[in-house]
């Protein structure tokens, strides 16, 4: 049986991503941190793991990028996209004007700013470790408290749902990656993630490396930088492209890029996520 590690506890969007990616026959293993998910795969406790890498509103999840760049040689072997719907929840006897405290994971709070500013002005916000912890903390609070929660977390804790779809955008989604010891064989519709850096701080070095993609007709879908963590002002660039590392033209471009960079690392090739034809993010 496949065991899929994810950032727990149960009731989080990470659990939903694990279920969507692994299917009904997979065993889902909640862990306490993103580094723990990586370690579980490396040590054989889990077969694969899912980690959030990008949200449509908040951008990249830098913890995931840094883990893949600096701390592990695991490969990205898949991706899925999960719709993000948030709910305002509380104890059954409370109503909106009574709240003094709002519990929320920082990412959730950032994605629900409009609702919080308009409907909960002056309410103190307290950071929770997860979208599952927030409703539990609100229910246990001695003060009149609410929480930003997932639907499943509200079900698991028995919290009352007071408002639904409180996220700033109805199109809010998070992209999750699957990590394993190996990436996937070519499917004909793949993506590849890689990172690279330069020691020399000179004009044109980045363009000089990336032009090899253009020469081969390779579409780059993402580019961003992260601190190298070694030297102030030195950065590691992270890129996603369409294509598989084993494709002849991709391999040719990568070989040339490697000669123009100080470090070059392929983080994995994997099937590109395709939005279902019915328009839903997930079936």
Q: Are the C-beta atoms of residues 30 and 130 closer than 8 Å to each other?
A: no
The pLDDT tens digits of the residues spanning 101-134 come to 999 999 899 889 999 999 999 999 999 988 999 9
Q: Is pLDDT at 34 greater than 90 in this prediction? A: yes
Say which CATH architecture domain 87-164 belongs to: 3-Layer(aba) Sandwich (3.40)
Rounded Cα–Cα distance for residues 17 and 29 (Å): 12
* pLDDT over 50 (residue 283): no
Q: Is 69 considered catalytic here?
A: no
pLDDT above 70: percentage of residues in the chain: 97
> How many Cβ atoms are within 10 Å of 35's Cβ, its own excluded?
15
CATH placement of domain 3-84+172-180: 3.40.190.10
pLDDT at residue 242, as a whole number: 97
Q: Would you state the pLDDT for residue 180?
A: 96
Among 171, 221, 168, 217, which Cα is nearest to 194's?
A: 221
- The two tokens of residue 157 are 């804790």
Is residue 33's pLDDT more than 80? Answer: yes
Instruction: Pick the catalytic residue from 3, 80, 174, 192.
Output: 174
More confident residue, 268 or 279: 268
Per-residue pLDDT at 204 exceeds 90: no
Catalytic, 237? Answer no
Mean pLDDT of 163-169: 93
Q: What's the pLDDT band for 281 if we cut at 50, 70, 90?
A: very low
Name, in order, each residue with C-beta under 8 angstroms of 122's C-beta and a sequence gap of 6 or more: none
Give the mean pLDDT of the chain. 92
Q: Which of 233, 221, 244, 222 is nearest to 197 (CA)?
A: 233
Which segment of 2-6, 23-27, 57-61, 180-184 scores lowest on mean pLDDT? 23-27
- Catalytic entry in 176, 194, 237, 254: 176
Model confidence, pTM = 0.83
pLDDT score at 215:
96
Judged by DSSP in three states, 202 sits in: coil
Residue 17 pLDDT exceeds 60: yes
Q: 87-164 and 190-271 share one CATH topology?
A: no
Q: What is the pLDDT of residue 277?
A: 63
Which of 162-166, 180-184, 273-277 is least confident? Answer: 273-277
Point out the least confidently predicted range of 69-73, 140-144, 200-204. 200-204
Q: What angle do CA 61, 35, 111 make, to 5 degrees?
A: 25
Q: Which CATH architecture has domain 190-271?
A: 2-Layer Sandwich (3.30)
Domain ranges of the chain: 3-84+172-180, 87-164, 190-271
The predicted model gives 239-248 an average pLDDT of 97
Report whether 84 contacts 172 (CB < 8 A). Answer: yes
């Amino acid at each position: 049986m496949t065991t899929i590690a994810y950032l727990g506890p149960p009731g989080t969007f990470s659990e939903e991503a694990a279920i969507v990616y692994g299917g009904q026959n997979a065993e889902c293993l909640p862990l306490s941190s993103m580094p723990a998910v990586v370690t579980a795969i490396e040590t054989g406790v889990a077969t694969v793991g899912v980690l959030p890498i990008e949200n449509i509103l908040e951008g990249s999840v830098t913890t995931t990028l840094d883990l893949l760049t600096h701390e592990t040689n695991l490969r990205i072997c898949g991706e899925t996209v999960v719709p993000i719907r948030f709910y305002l929840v509380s104890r059954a006897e409370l109503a909106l004007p009574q709240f003094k405290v709002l519990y929320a994971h920082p990412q959730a709070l950032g994605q629900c700013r409009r609702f919080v500013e308009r409907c909960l002005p002056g309410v103190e916000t307290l950071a929770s470790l997860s979208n599952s912890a927030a409703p539990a903390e609100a229910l246990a609070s001695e003060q009149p408290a609410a929480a930003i929660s997932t639907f499943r977390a509200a079900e698991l804790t028995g919290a009352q749902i007071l408002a639904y779809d409180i996220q700033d955008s109805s199109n809010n989604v998070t992209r999750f990656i699957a990590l394993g010891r190996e990436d996937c064989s070519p499917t004909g519709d793949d993506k590849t993630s890689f990172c690279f850096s330069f020691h020399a701080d000179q004009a044109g070095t980045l363009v000089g490396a990336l032009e090899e993609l253009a020469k081969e007709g390779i579409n780059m879908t993402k580019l961003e930088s992260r601190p190298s963590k070694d030297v102030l002002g030195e950065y590691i660039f992270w890129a996603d492209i369409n294509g598989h590392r084993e494709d002849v033209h991709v391999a040719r471009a990568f070989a040339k890029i490697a000669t123009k960079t100080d470090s070059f690392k392929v983080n994995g090739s994997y099937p590109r996520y395709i939005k279902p034809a019915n328009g839903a993010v997930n079936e």
